[in-house]
Amino acid sequence: MIDSKQIAKLIGPTIIAVTVSETVNIHIWAANTAAGIHLNGALLFLGGLAIIRSHNLWVRGWPVLVTLTGWAIILLGLFRMFAPAMQLEAANNATVVIPEIMFVLVIGIVLTFKGYMSKT
């Protein structure tokens, strides 16, 4: 089993970079196609599955956040693969997108902090 800190060091900054870059380039989602959303979902599914295969740890404390993130990425990937049109519609609703972006950004910041700064 891979150490929680090592995975947090990978996915924390990745989540931050993806979240910020998608926010800065939010207009690309409106111009995207269902095929692009499907491909994005397949890649998310693969990444989430890799996290869960190496870190399916259900404990009290922050390491469970790594596991929950992996499962959330799998579910988001499946949603984008099986309902790309719904994802495209949801991307145009700013009242839903902005809070989701902020929540995901906070998860990325917490994982980055725990991976790089935490002593335990």
Domain parsing of the chain, residue ranges: 4-116
Prediction pTM value: 0.86
| Distances in whole angstroms, Cα of residue 15 to Cα of each of 24, 34, 51, 85, 111 | 14, 23, 13, 23, 9
pLDDT band, very low/low/confident/very high, at 64 (cuts 50, 70, 90): very high
As given in the structure block, the two tokens for residue 17 are 């970079």
Per-residue pLDDT at 107 exceeds 70 = yes
Q: Which residues contact 87 (CB under 8 A, 6 or more apart)?
A: 37, 41, 79, 80
Task: Dump pLDDT digits (tens) for 22-58.
Answer: 888 877 777 788 898 899 999 999 999 999 999 999 9
Per-residue pLDDT at 119 exceeds 80 = no
Q: How confident is the model at residue 70, as a pLDDT?
A: 96
